[in-house]
Amino acid sequence: MLERCGIGISSGIVVEKAYVFRHSEVYVSYDTVDDADAALQEFESAYRRTHAEIDAIEADGDEGEAILAVYKAMLEDPDYLSLIRGNIKERKHNAAWAVEAATDKYVSLLERVDDDFFKERIADLRDISGRLISEILSSSRLEINVPYPAILVADYLQPSEMISMDLSNVKGLCLDKGGITSHIAILARSMNIPSVFALSSLSFEVSDEDTIAMDGKTGNVVINPDRKTRSLYRKKLDKEIRKEAALGEDIEGAVTADGFAVKLMGNIEGLDGIESLIKAGADGIGLFRTEFLMMLPDYADNEKRSAIYRETVERMSPYGPVTFRTYDIGGDKIPNEMKIKEENPILGWRAVRLCLEEKDLFRDQLISILKASAGYSDVRLMFPMISGSEELQSVIAFLDSVKDECREKGIEFADDIKIGTMIEVPSAAITADVIARYVDFMSIGTNDLIQYTIAVDRSNEKISYLYRPLHPAVLRLLKHIVDSAHENGIPVSMCGEMAGYADYLPILIGLGLDELSMAPSSIAEARRRIRKLSRSSCASFVNHVLSLSDAKEIEKALKEFNCGKA
């Protein structure tokens, strides 16, 4: 019996045989060419075949179609294609080398972006380049065919492979590589395939038809479990089935035992996430990450962008508000024509700092959101990365000028559109009492707030142990933010990953947060846990933990509280 622990991606318990797949290596030579025109022709031919191959893939569901759209956008990126052609014409690279060199350059740019979503687009780009190189070298790409009900164990998996393969026998997924925001992770969750990623060299340690027991929530994987372990996993599976059936039938509100109502809202990146929010009984959209839409083809078209925003509002109007966060872009996370080089993009030209300089880009988005709000009273606009009241006032002044422009042009919009700000920078958190005077609501982005407060890069494995959401400094900032909002008579929400972690709920409820916004899959469990809590006891618990001196003590206290209450 062999045990491994990776990253739980998509929840579910599975005990099945394994089916192992590993990609074969493709070797690229680094010989220059004498005839650049012939090499260029070779690339163009391979490009056409690759494009046709992508076009021929049929995707099931909105998620698959959206991912294929991203692939096509990458494949048609003029800067990427120009770099490849330049490598051939100017540097005399052979066609395969030219593609590899261009891809490596883009990858190096993406690796410097402090955003997991964009870092994990590297896998998508590698998939595109791999297809191009395979076509150039005429090397066949093996199709993945799982011939019996099994857990697919692979070194990695490309989204296009997953979209095009027959998944009827795939009961679970275990990958050596992959992250929680990768397209494969998105697909696995949307298809409800229990999955564990980042399992190191598991695909080299497992053979076909070995038995695997896996838990997609905890990330635990057991190879060839003994009878006792199998029995344990079977019992966990039975319990999970009963629990999911009960949760799925219950979409009523989240109210604590002593009558404190908490709105449970969802975080999404596009239209494909709306249906899952409705099914989960979400109270609205607490965070629409609009920057991810910039990866879609034709998004720059004002009418098409407005149509996406409008459809979001219309579909969610029976359920609750829609909160559009304006573009949180910066560093390399921006359109190609705007690329700049920065040593530390996480502290650089990003979000509202960029938008206030790129006013045409910002104006177009604000107009689209304002147009979407016409006739609806529950549309909210939220600004990211605000550092203080001065910056916030500048953004609001610009918004007011855009509203005036809309009035002059006869563009209708909701006059009562709610204006809010993210609190994710320590300077904004500390001055939350001042910021609260200028907005209708505040939303805490814990992902950045935690790493900025503790000065720890959450993507750096060497110091990941320092990333502690329950650090006393973080909790004190959270309390100050919530108190500041309530003293100014406005609601405060949390839309960072911390909001979707059910074990943190006693602290979040005790702090008095009015709204929690999370992944759709987390809503049902949060609702169940909230109903078992008493706000008054949670508030007393928060007062206690705020007196503790370190995160370890607080984590221990929270574990003991949850064992007694949940």
Pairing of strands 211-215, 220-223: antiparallel
Of the candidates 355, 439, 353, the residue with the CA atom closest to the CA atom of residue 391: 353
Of the candidates 533, 530, 507, 369, the residue with the CA atom closest to the CA atom of residue 446: 507
Burial class (CB in 10 A: 0-12, 13-18, 19+), 487: exposed
- Other CB atoms within 10 A of residue 22 CB: 13
Of the candidates 254, 241, 246, 143, the residue with the CA atom closest to the CA atom of residue 192: 241
Cβ distance 152 to 175 under 8 Å? no
Render 333-381 in DSSP notation, one character per residue.
BS-GGG----S-GGGSSBHHHHHTTSHHHHHHHHHHHHHHHTT-S-EEE
Tokens of 546: 């705020």
Cβ distance 296 to 290 under 8 Å? no
* Long-range contacts formed by 221-224: CB under 8 A, 24+ apart: 221/3, 221/4, 221/5, 221/6, 221/174, 221/196, 222/1, 222/2, 222/3, 222/4, 223/1, 223/2, 223/3, 223/4, 223/18, 224/1, 224/2
Q: Tell me the residue type at 562.
A: N
Kindly list the catalytic residues.
183, 495
Residues 6+ apart with CB under 8 A from 178: 7, 9, 123, 156, 157, 184, 185, 197, 198
Cβ distance 22 to 155 under 8 Å? yes
Tokens of 266: 């969802």
For residue 498, the surrounding DSSP H or E stretch is none
Cβ distance 140 to 134 under 8 Å? yes
Tokens of 367: 């107009």
CA end-to-end span of the chain? 32
Report the alpha-carbon distance of residue 552 to residue 464 in Å, rounded. Answer: 15
